[in-house]
Structure 1
Amino acid sequence: MASSGFSPAAPPVFNDIKPALLRANPTVAQIRQHANERTKRHKAMSCIQNCVSDVIFTRIMTCKTPKQAWDKLKEEFQGTERTRQQQLLNLRRDFENLKMKEEETVKQYSDRIMAVVNSIRLLGEQFDEVRIVEKVLSTLPERYEAKISSLEDSRDLTRISLTELINALYAQEQRRANRFDEHQEGAFQAKSKPSSSNVAYKGKKNWRDKSKADASKKWDKPCRHCKRPGHPEARCWFRPDVICQHCKKRGHVERVCKEKDKPAQNQPQHKAAEARVVEQGSDSEE
């Protein structure tokens, strides 16, 4: 709320004009005004020296008047007119060569453009915002074509501000980024979820492993015939209560009979036994 009868103090204005001498018989007001004019030069010099850093102060410490100090600073940082024109030429060339990179966002690209534009404006050249908008629209990548076409249909691009354009393009970027994140998340979940065939295969494998483990545990007990583990009793070669069908001997089964491998040796004995039986039969008949 503005208070009545209050006005902000005007900033001091300094000039480098030497005050005129006092007239004869000056008044008190004239003496006071003359003193103020004489102290303006010292106030200006104090303001310049206090507003610069220590490094810059060493460059103007030998100046006697504020005008000398100001000209020294102007030459140091702004340069001569020829230097300023060369800087403007380089900045204009940089502005024309600006293009948006693939990994950049719209706001990052606009910040790069405004850095060059502000440097041009600091050198005293006028730079319209319409020119900046045209630069942004003409250098955007192909992925923004749909949004630019939509803006052309709904807005007058010659009157749109740079802030509105950047915000509209940034909103499209955010929507595209959100869709990409959702797609990546869905692909990751589908990849991490096992398929039904893999589950069935794992279940079948576990069943086989379990049956083998149960069988091995079952055969860990020693056989009651041969007193050795690792086989069922029905398959044991040593069977005291079994008669071999091949050699007619007790204590083993036919598949482990050692007489099976000796057919040539056993054949004469069988023939001799058969011959004795025949002879005995003929004798009994006589």
Structure 2
Amino acid sequence: MKLRLLVGSMVAYLVYLLIGAAVFSAIERPMEVTKCGDTRSAIERFRTLLQDNAGNLTIANFTDIARVIQTAGNFGIRVDNNFNVVCSINWDFESAFFFSGTVVTTIGYGHISPNTDLGRSICIIYAIIGIPLFALMFTGMGESISKQIKRLHKRAQGKASEGWTYRDSIYYGFITLTTIGFGDFVAGTNADINYFPIYRIMVYFWILFGMAFMATLISLISDFFKKTGEKVRTKRKGYATEEDGAVMESGLAQENTQQPPPAEEIKPDNANRKPDSQTEGSSESLEKRPFRDNEDDRL
């Protein structure tokens, strides 16, 4: 891909992400704020009911509060053991930008998703347009990186900004860059950590360039196995040709060693036959033998 086309696709992709972030934040953020307020109100009512009528609570009361907590969890709202409501901010502009990137890259962590009907409908259209755009830019980046990158220097620290161990960070990096995306580790979603500004945006661009490098690495490995397979097939064909030649040579040698017998040794079938006179004489002698035997008996 030419440099102008690559830069143009990257700019278009960035603008597309900014548009998606603005749209999703505008649609989903009000619902998130409303849901957080409703959850706090429901928890406060249950807490008041628990303090005033602890002995008169019914199964229906516990069922209702359990349903509220479960529904709140779908919106990223957490209720601790003391019934304190912790509302995560999932649909501000920064988070929506990160979400837009996970949609078009097909990673799909699953930690947040649109909850409104309008947001879900727009998400479908957004993915249909954004995935081909990302594929175009991603292919161009992979080609450029495969031509220019010769060495990779990787620095590792004991723990990341997320508080993960080094093993967890390696696991997160591999699952993310291979687009598996289990969602058990997601950067920038810990409510107990105060992230610095544009942290999630930086993480997303790390994912973007990391995926380009991973695609290059996978392409190189695939080419290596293809070339190895071609060499093995070529060697097998060579061995088969040599074996066929050896078989043909041995067959010709056996044909040359088998010579027809000399003409002197070939005797006609009549040579083994006796003349008719000898045959008649022998038959007469056989006929006379019983007569002679009878004469001897008489004597």
Which category of TM-score, normalised to the shorter sequence, fits these structures?
0.3 to 0.5
Query: What is the TM-score with the length of structure 2 in the denominator?
Result: 0.31
Query: What is the TM-score with the length of structure 1 in the denominator?
Result: 0.32
Q: Which has the bigger relative contact order, CA under 8 A and spacing at least 6? A: 2
Which structure has the greater CA radius of gyration?
1
